[in-house]
Amino acid sequence: MTLRLVFIKIIEPISNNFMDEAFVKVDAIARTFEGWLNPKERPLLYNLAKACKGRGVIAEIGSWKGNSTSYLGTGSKMGPNAKVYAIDPHAQTYVHEMYSTKSTFETFKENIKKAGVEDIVVPIRAFSEEAAKTWDKPIELLWIDGDHSYKAAKLDFDLFFPFVIDGGVVAYHDATSGEVKQVIKERIFFSGNFADCDFVQSVAYARKVMRPLTLGEKSHNFYVYAKMQLIDLTRFLVPQAGRARVKTLAKKVFKRV
């Protein structure tokens, strides 16, 4: 079995919206926390963390009030039991200014306790650039959900990508539109450093490989990016009422390609 097939076999439950008892339990709690993960993205994060093998830690850039942290932490506890390093300044960003009148750190701590992951989560109250100065841990799963500007999203990747192990996964939130989409195009889909690119709703993710990509892997990445572009295009060209039909048709077309 090839590495690509192994990876797909590991991730396969995600595409089927697989949800075990531990996920259902944490989801009942964490989905009440403020955050922006949709119902399909929550099991994705949980399963990506659960699929880790313990060869590195899980690093999260942008924790806010602990919504995504809870899924990552629970997935890790059901898998490798790797520490989740949650990096967030909890103040002085446009997100905090828009949605919070004070630091979110106390709420973050309360929420990860409610989710039962405070024992596995290591908060780092800092901007990613500051946290990277002393970072020395191998990363098996890197979840990036910080500042969504092109400059900041690219910087988050560049700071922590060198620590991602061979076979480790990098995942971006809100990656299918806006400036983050340009970052993943350059740094992931067409960088030659990642195989098995895929996306679920607005989360794009891929596996780092420290070898030349095969032609099949390059073709797969191009195919997935084209599919993502088409879906994003429907947001501008198709009225809300007709988007579901267009997406269904697009899926049929891509299955035949």
Residues 257, 158, single domain; the answer is no
Q: Say if residue 130 is in the same domain as residue 249.
A: no
Q: Between 94 and 146, where is the model more confident?
A: 146
> Are 46 and 156 in the same domain?
yes
Per-residue H/E/C for 212-239: CCCHHHHHHHHHHHHHHHHHHHHHHHCC
Which structure tokens are listed for 98? 């828009």
- 86 pLDDT above the threshold of 80: yes
Q: Which of 37-51, 167-181, 238-252 has the lowest mean pLDDT?
A: 238-252
> The whole model's pTM is what?
0.86
Amino acid found at 112: I
Quick one: pLDDT at residue 122? 98
Indicate whether 36 and 90 sit together in one domain.
yes
CATH number of the domain to which 32 belongs:
3.40.50.150
Mean pLDDT of the chain, nearest integer: 88
Q: How confident is the model at residue 85 (pLDDT cuts 50, 70, 90)?
A: very high
pLDDT digits (tens, 9 = 90+) for 229-244: 888 787 666 566 655 6
Cα separation, 93 vs 68, in Å, equals 18
Residue 218 shares a structural domain with residue 203: no
What percent of the chain is predicted at pLDDT more than 70? 80
Which range is least confidently modeled, 108-117, 203-212, 225-234? Answer: 225-234
Q: How many domains does the chain have?
A: 2
- Between these two residues, 3 and 139, which has the higher pLDDT value? 139
Classified as helix, coil or strand, 188 is helix
Q: What is the pLDDT of residues 124-133, one digit of tens each?
A: 999 999 999 9
Q: Which of 11-25, 86-100, 182-196 has the lowest mean pLDDT?
A: 11-25
Mean pLDDT over 56-76 rounds to 97
Q: Are residues 106 and 184 in the same domain?
A: yes
Range of the domain at 234: 214-257
Which residues are CB-contacts of 3 (< 8 A; sequence separation ≥ 6)?
A: 167, 195, 209
Query: Which strands form 164-172's sheet, in the order they lie side by side?
Result: 121-124, 84-87, 57-61, 139-144, 164-172, 203-208, 194-200
Q: Are residues 200 and 228 in the same domain?
A: no
